Structure 1
Amino acid sequence: MKANSWERTSQENSLETANTLVMNSANLQEEHNEQQHPKVKSFCSVRYGMAIMLHLCHLTFSAQGQSMSIAIIAMVKHTNQSNYSNISTEGYPDTTTDTEIPVYEWSPEIQGFLLSVSIIGMLITTIPSGYFAGVLGGKKIAGLSLLISSVLNLLIPLAADYGLSYLVFVKIVQGLMQGVGLGASPAFWPKWAPPLERTKLSTISLTGFTTGNFIGVLIGGFLCEYPGWPSIFYIFGGIGCVFCILWFSLVYDDPLNHPFISDNEKGYIISSMVEQVNSPSWSLPFKAIIKALPFWAIIVPTICRFWLVSNLTTSLPTLLDNMFDLNFKKNGFLSALPLITSWITMTVGSHIADFLLSKKVLKVIRVRKLFTFLGMLPPSLFILAMPYLGDIITLIFLILAMSMSGLCYSGFIIGPLDIAPRYTGFLMGLETVSTLISALISPIVTGLFIKQDAATGWKNVFFLSSAINFLGMVFYLIFGQADIQDWAKEERITHF
């Protein structure tokens, strides 16, 4: 017995010594990497330049997507008629020229279809493009999709003049291209973002959608008045075409092939991701992904959060008009205000999150759950209280709800980069599709609530949005993880 006890003690001591040696070796290797490849400051780094380029790409996509939702207010002459395709014989005059800008007689059903048809196209292509970009790289896929989308944006006024069927066709193809771009853009970060900078870099990229929405909402109403609604499509389409020149010149799939990156920064990025498995592969463990709770811990709160956000953004002009009786210019400014405050919150939150990780104050999963909690609980409470408050306080709470929700970008939204960097493009494609499904369904439910009685309907909309958002938060707090999953690791073949 004593001999066995001595053997067990000896084995335990040997294991402890081995573990200590491994840890010391890892620490020495890490220190060696840091000395050999010192961290390059963000303001002069190519990786942050990549984040800005992706920000501008998303901004352009978002502004083009907003073009129709803003312009359709000026495009439609009689919203209460059901003539589906006729052009009104009356135009409204341009304030500076003698030309007349066409106005169309589209029913509310046709208007709703035109606003949603692009989303249908995006649903089709987002997931496949994320998969292919993860294997082939995102530069050409995202760049070509942006170029085609921009050209189609320029053609929308002409297509509307030719007839409704031509306009629908252009919008469907544009939606397909936008879905390709959205699915391809996350594929850059497994190769470009060091683990301790993932939150900042990905958030800089993703805030482009918020910036694009802000610009579209803020200036869209003024462009409709001067020089007219076609200018919205020409301006954002032209900007997209010009930006594509910069995209193909400055964007590269990985730091190894970028011509302007320094050796220090290249070494820093590569050495920081030595333990990450990012090698592209055509294999896709779809069954394992579907069965994984950490995957659903990202998808479920994505749907729940965007249900609330979609109601606040899509329905906000109508809400402001019903509650505050605001004119179009003031409505446009107030609709844009929550977007810029959200941008600030997302940016500040990402820096705080990466600071907590770099200083080892909290583990990755603790940071993700903290920011998910802060990004979902306060908005649920704000929305729940809105029906019982005065006009000004209600507006303040609405802005606070939108702003706090932006903290989720440092929480569960970045989850695919944590649990499966190898399949980030595909998983974020699924995440994007989840938001699109929410964006399609939530306005329909909102319309059903407010159809009979606006006051009671809005109250029910707030209650439902608050409850759904809260349940999404609880689901992530219980099941969320931040460790690389077994199905996302490199398979190693052992020879016997």
Structure 2
Amino acid sequence: MPLPNGYSINSAQSDESEDSEPLIENDAVPPQCCSARLNLAVLMFFGFSVVYGLRVNLSVAMVAMVNSTDPKPAQNSSVFHACPMPPGMENASDTFPQPEGIPQYPWNSETQGWLLGAFFFGYLCTQIPGGYLSGHYGGKMFLGVGVLGTAALTLLTPLAAQLGSYWLFALRALEGFGEGVTFPAMMAMWARWAPPLERSRLMTLSGSGANFGAFLALPLTGYICQTLGWPAVFYICGGAGCLWAVVWFIFVSDDPRTDPRISKEERDYIINSIGPQGTGHGWSVPLVPMLLSVPLWAIIVTQMCSNWSYYTLLTSLPTYMNNIMHFDLKSNGFLSALPYLGAWLLSMLSGVVADLLIERRLLSVTTVRKLFTILGVLPPAAFLVAVSYAGCSHILTVTFLTLSTTVGGISASGVYINQIDIAPRYAGFLLGITNTFGTVPGVVAPIAAGYFTKDNTLAGWRKVFWVAAGINVGGALVYTIFGSGKIQPWAVTEEERDEAEKKRSRSISI
């Protein structure tokens, strides 16, 4: 849609213009407040809060589910208690008593690592099919069913644990199988709903629900475990997911064209600003050009590297707080959650700033994505290294861990939404691909952490943090060199090229 200043709204994707004026006149854009697109982002926010609550509740509940963090500790107590017990807890047991009738299990650290990683075995399987089908049909059904199915399975967790660790492993893998479609479905929906100049803020708002969910679920899980018993955690989280799914199916539409509640002004704005890229991709996708796309591989490698540290902390931090720092279960949950509060706030702020930089043409899309990726990856790596040398200092450990995850929220406006820049029509499918690779650390990192820390020593945990930091730095370097924010040639059809050429000719003649 040509605008008064001679630019198209879609020209936000260009990295070549040096114009510093806003791309859209203020009176040409319907306000976001109470808009359908903002309502969608808010509902997605709560959906991903539930999603991450369902994902991380086992991390804290595990501390209460086992009757010892290691049923056969080393004979040398100085090794088992790597740090001194806090005053008044010298003779305290590592077992967290549960209400009468609540079972506990003798799972060692390696078994716990496999159980914490089980979710991601299933999660790997449905990313690409979910992204492909969401891009073709729309993401509403896949996101809703993904959350609903995961929530329903979560209700069965106490039964599976009672049957044995193998049953619990299988159930968690099935939960991951159901949840694997959710993020690709979200990306496919935003490809149809998010105007180019609002992508960063809308997508970071909806995606930040993940950090908010972790922040909320971790302390609540600790509190519920000590007051109601660990099974109540899974009943409450599962029930919340089922309730959210009902609201989602009632109020959400796949496309602004079919939404009965959207205003005509907002519908026209969204459709015209996104253009033909805001439609489904059909059954055919350019697989070979995708596989040969350097910018796509840059996203894949960087997300894998960045996710290693994220998943390490997400799944293993409660164990570290318990085994090494010796926080009680309630404090453990709160302190494990604190970093995600900062990440939630900073990710939303980064979205606003990123859109502003692009809208004002202060920086190109490519530069913005690279800048926010570097700022969200390199400092967190440095803070992880600092954690490994904080020793038994509770204050320094909590401070460095909080700073690491908080600053990591900046990357939400970087590599994590780059798929929609390089190929809007195929964004859901691409996120399925990148998230499949990005989920590999979710499988490997908890297992590696369990291997490194089987003796519960500071030296073992130092290896965990150093490995995560080194992998982070490698990912940032790859994206800095090979990342891009331009629409790739394989994402544009011949009809779109011809239409763009006609518009360019008319613009020049005017």
What band does the TM-score fall into relative to the shorter chain? 0.7 to 0.9
- 1:383–1:296: structure 2 CA closer, same or farther, 3 Å change rule? same
- 1:436–1:227: structure 2 CA closer, same or farther, 3 Å change rule? same
- 1:116–1:237: structure 2 CA closer, same or farther, 3 Å change rule? same
Choose which of 14, 23, 27 in structure 1 pairs with 2:6: 27
Q: Which has the higher contact order (CA 8 A, sep 6+)?
A: 2
Can you list the C-alpha shifts for 1:244-286, whole angstroms capped at 9, x where unaligned? 1110111111111111111111111112112646442211222
Q: Which residue of 2 aligns with 1:101?
A: 102
Q: Which residue of 1 aligns with 2:31?
A: 41
Q: Which residue of 1 aligns with 2:202?
A: 201
- 1:380–1:76: structure 2 CA closer, same or farther, 3 Å change rule? closer
Can you list the C-alpha shifts for 1:409-463, whole angstroms capped at 9, x where unaligned? 1111111000011111111112222232112222333344344682333333333
Q: Which residue of 2 aligns with 1:459?
A: 462
Asked whether 1:67 is paired with 2:57, we answer yes
Bigger drift between 59-68 and 322-331 goes to: 322-331
What is the TM-score normalised by the length of structure 2? 0.83
- 1:386–1:140: structure 2 CA closer, same or farther, 3 Å change rule? closer
Distance of 1:474 and 1:373 partners within structure 2: 8
Choose which of 482, 486, 501 in structure 2 pairs with 1:483: 486
SS state at 2:200 partner: helix
Give the CA deviation at 1:93.
6.0
Give the CA deviation at 1:163.
5.1
Distance of 2:390 and 2:165 partners within structure 1: 43
What is the TM-score normalised by the length of structure 1? 0.85
Give the CA deviation at 1:26.
7.9
SS state at 1:42 partner: coil
Which blocks of at least 5 consecutive residues in structure 1 are unaligned? 1-21, 83-90
SS state at 2:371 partner: helix
Give the CA deviation at 1:319.
3.0
- 1:377–1:72: structure 2 CA closer, same or farther, 3 Å change rule? closer
Contact 1:92 1:102 in 2 (8 A): no
CA RMSD of aligned residues (A): 2.9
Asked whether 1:77 is paired with 2:67, we answer yes
For this pair of structures, how many residues does the alignment match? 461
- 1:103–1:25: structure 2 CA closer, same or farther, 3 Å change rule? closer
- State the one-letter code of the partner of 1:465: A
- State the one-letter code of the partner of 2:6: N
Q: Which residue of 1 aligns with 2:293?
A: 292
Q: What are the residue-to-residue correspondences of 1:53-452 with 2, within 5 Å? A: 53-77=43-67, 80=70, 94=99, 100-162=101-163, 166-274=167-275, 276=277, 278-321=279-322, 323-389=324-390, 391=393, 392-451=395-454
Q: Which residue of 1 aligns with 2:92?
A: none
Distance of 2:342 and 2:472 partners within structure 1: 20
Bigger drift between 332-341 and 371-380 goes to: 371-380
- 1:190–1:105: structure 2 CA closer, same or farther, 3 Å change rule? same
Contact 1:117 1:168 in 2 (8 A): yes
Contact 2:140 2:253 in 1 (8 A): yes
Can you list the C-alpha shifts for 1:461-496, whole angstroms capped at 9, x where unaligned? 33332222112111111111111111111244999x
Bigger-Rg structure (1/2)? 1
Q: Which residue of 1 aligns with 2:477?
A: 474
- 1:266–1:134: structure 2 CA closer, same or farther, 3 Å change rule? same
- State the one-letter code of the partner of 2:288: K
Can you list the C-alpha shifts for 1:97-137, whole angstroms capped at 9, x where unaligned? xx622333445444333322221111111111111111011
Can you list the C-alpha shifts for 1:181-213, whole angstroms capped at 9, x where unaligned? 233222101110000110111111111111111
- Percent of residue pairs identical: 38
Which blocks of at least 5 consecutive residues in structure 2 are unaligned? 11-22, 73-95, 499-510
Distance of 1:494 and 1:331 partners within structure 2: 56
Distance of 2:364 and 2:152 partners within structure 1: 45
- State the one-letter code of the partner of 1:337: L
Can you list the C-alpha shifts for 1:370-423, whole angstroms capped at 9, x where unaligned? 111211221222233444457233432221111111111111111100001111
Q: Which residue of 1 aligns with 2:87?
A: none
- 1:215–1:441: structure 2 CA closer, same or farther, 3 Å change rule? same
Distance of 1:352 and 1:45 partners within structure 2: 20
Bigger drift between 348-357 and 172-181 goes to: 172-181
- 1:135–1:304: structure 2 CA closer, same or farther, 3 Å change rule? same
Bigger drift between 359-368 and 63-72 goes to: 63-72
Contact 1:277 1:489 in 2 (8 A): no
Give the CA deviation at 1:365.
0.9
Q: Which is helix-richer, 1 or 2?
A: 1
- 1:393–1:154: structure 2 CA closer, same or farther, 3 Å change rule? closer
Q: Which residue of 2 aligns with 1:16?
A: none
- State the one-letter code of the partner of 1:266: R
Give the CA deviation at 1:29.
6.8
Contact 1:37 1:268 in 2 (8 A): no
Distance of 1:114 and 1:323 partners within structure 2: 20
SS state at 1:315 partner: helix
Distance of 1:93 and 1:397 partners within structure 2: 32
Contact 2:452 2:461 in 1 (8 A): yes
